A = this chain, B = another copy of it.
Amino acid sequence: MLRVTPQRQAILALINRSNVHWDAEELARELVQSGQAVGIATVYRGLSALEGAGLIASVQLGDRKRYERIDKSHHDHLVCTECGSLEEFVQPEIERLQAQVAEEKGFRMLNHQLLLFGICYACDNHDSNQDLDKGKKI
């Protein structure tokens, strides 16, 4: 009952061929650029449907949700509060301890979210107060 449509194919293709954490608006703009514009409501619905089908992954960052490829192993994120960039990391021991905590509490954990906020290496060593590149893909 999940239908294959050109719009969803375009959204999925774009996410799969990039290494970006897209939000709905950014993705819609990129689709316009590439000549296959998709209505913004359809982008929201498409992203939600694709995630529900297990074809893409998401990260909730503050008030906005970002989507990325799912064909990499699970990872968590370092979020730079200066430039907004995302860095990825994997720490199996943390994953194991999370499951252990849930277990001990009788809590059936379905997923988790771990965000480390701070200043990335680049920002910490910035030459001057560069303007933030608002158009940068993260």
Contact = CB atoms under 8 A, between A and B. Distances in A.
B97 A124 contact: no
A106 to B, nearest CB: 4
Interface string A92-123: 01100110011001111111111111111100
22 contacts: A78-B102, A78-B105, A80-B107, A81-B110, A87-B105, A87-B107, A91-B98, A93-B97, A98-B114, A101-B116, A102-B118, A105-B121, A107-B116, A107-B119, A107-B121, A110-B117, A110-B118, A111-B117, A112-B114, A112-B115, A113-B114, A113-B115
A71 interface: no
A63 B98 CA distance: 23
Interface residues of A, number: 33
Interface string A61-82: 0110000000000000010110
